[in-house]
């Protein structure tokens, strides 16, 4: 899947807001606010359930990495996430 398509699909789901569980949340981390080198994906199956985490890292910005963005879309699809949340900005490592 190309980068623009992946980013648009993620943005569309994020824009819908919280719609219930299962829920996927994306948090970006980096050494500077402009370059996120790590994304942590948190999956919560139901309210009160223990969240599961997976992370992806890159030398470049993960938001501009086609493989990582495609993987995030696949995670959304395979988990059948009703809600997709994205933490605003990039947290500093």
3's enclosing H/E stretch is helix 3-15
Cα of 49 vs its chain's centroid, Å: 19
| Residues facing 20 on adjacent strands | none
How far is 48 from 60, CA to CA, in rounded Å? 35
CA distance 37 to 93: 9
pLDDT, tens only, 25-37: 999 999 999 999 9
Q: pLDDT tens-digit profile of 3-58?
A: 999 999 999 999 999 999 999 999 999 999 999 999 999 999 999 999 999 999 99
Domain residue extents for the chain: 3-45+55-92
H or E element at residue 67: helix 66-79
């Amino acid at each position: 899947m190309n980068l623009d398509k992946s980013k648009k699909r993620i943005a569309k789901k994020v824009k819908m807001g919280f719609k219930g569980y299962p829920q996927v949340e994306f948090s970006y981390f980096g050494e500077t606010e402009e370059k996120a080198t790590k994304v942590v994906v948190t999956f919560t199956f139901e309210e009160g359930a223990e969240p599961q985490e997976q992370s992806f890292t890159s030398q470049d910005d993960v938001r501009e990495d086609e493989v990582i963005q495609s993987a995030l879309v696949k995670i959304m699809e395979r988990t059948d996430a009703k809600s997709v949340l994205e933490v605003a900005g990039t947290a500093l490592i």
